[in-house]
Structure 1
Amino acid sequence: MATITFITGGARSGKSCFAQRLAENQSEKPIYLATARIWDEDFAQRVKRHQDDRNERWQTVEEEKELSKHDFSGETVLLDCITLWLTNYFHDSGYQLNNALDAAKAEWKKFVEQEINLIVVSNELGMGVHPENEMARKFADLQGWMNQFIAAQADTVYLMVSGIDIKIK
């Protein structure tokens, strides 16, 4: 079973930077598990910025959905991030909340069966403005429920606020 460190917080709260430092302190050769799809040029630039933040110590594995198909046994893995991973499930399910949640939970259960040191980054969407449209509200629900699911299994949970890590579990 995976040892899970879960890091959540708002946009630009310092989650990825904190997670990267943790991984580098725990492994000489950490693995960066990137879950993003490149939707547009702005997003491509965001991905590039994250890539530039990592040095040659890092191995990058790109996987939009099927995390469990990779064998990371014995490794330190930084999964960045749950929000983008869930976006892929939500989009591919035709924006069906329950289908996306069920599929993501099933995949997560298979993934964490591995003996890995897993550092997970996610977004805390429920602390912001209430979404104005139905699809955004459904996604906020999806994100919140998946965060709860992962945090319940996590050994350690951090909340990031303005670049400051607060250990909450």
Structure 2
Amino acid sequence: MIYFISGGERSGKSNYAMNLALELSDNPVYLATSRKWDSDFEQRVQRHQDERDQRWENWEEEKEIGKLNITGRVVVLDCITLWLTNWFLDLEQNIDSCLQNAKRELEELFKQDATLIVISNELGMGVHAESHMGRKFVELHGWTNQFIAQKSDRATFIVSGLPLQMK
């Protein structure tokens, strides 16, 4: 089962996803995809880890999520935006290569018999990106979100903490 949860920054996506995971499992996995860029970001990661209690298993994987064995587990994948950022920067902003790698990794993850709760931002609803690099990333992100939404069993859009069921 694949749940796709999208929305804006600080819309309540992660909270919604974590509550859903705890409804589905007594011992869910929180799969963090962020790269710890600086001390401020490390503090943010630590704060998020401290918010989760002993029921949670914390995993970290910056890019190769398809290699993880999630069979039989309930997994919150947080988040596609940071995960794509890692690919985008490491592959020198090559959108085609990033999209190909992202789809391959997601397909490997989606093949497993697990409950996956995928969190992503909706970047294309905000202000038009100023830079060429920003516009390329928004395009990559939008195409990836569309791919996940098509593969998902359920899709929820979060606005101001309120879930809107789309699929």
State whether TM-score is above 0.5: yes
Instruction: Measure, in 2, the Cα distance between the counterparts of 1:87 and 1:159.
Output: 21
Instruction: Measure, in 2, the Cα distance between the counterparts of 1:34 and 1:163.
Output: 21
Deviations 1:92-124 (A, max 9, x none): 101111111111111111111100000010000
Give the C-alpha shift of residue 167 in structure 1: 0.6
1:139 to 127, 137, 140: 137
Specify the alignment match of 1:73 in structure 2: 71
What is the letter of the counterpart of residue 27 of structure 1? S
Specify the alignment match of 2:38 in structure 1: 40
Which consecutive unaligned segments of at least 5 residues does structure 1 have? none
Percent identity of paired positions between Structure 1 and Structure 2: 53
**Residue 110 of structure 2 corresponds to residue 112 of structure 1:** yes
TM-score (normalizing by structure 2): 0.98
Aligned length: 167
Secondary structure, aligned partner of 1:122: strand
Instruction: Measure, in 1, the Cα distance between the counterparts of 2:39 and 2:131.
Output: 25
Give the C-alpha shift of residue 44 in structure 1: 1.6
What is the letter of the counterpart of residue 8 of structure 2? G
Of 18-27 and 63-72, more deviation after overlay is shown by 63-72
Instruction: Measure, in 2, the Cα distance between the counterparts of 1:162 and 1:45.
Output: 25
What is the letter of the counterpart of residue 100 of structure 1? C
Instruction: Measure, in 1, the Cα distance between the counterparts of 2:111 and 2:81.
Output: 21
Secondary structure, aligned partner of 1:12: coil
Paired residues of 2:67 and 2:108 also in contact (CA < 8 A): no
Secondary structure, aligned partner of 2:121: coil
Specify the alignment match of 1:26 in structure 2: 24
Specify the alignment match of 2:152 in structure 1: 154
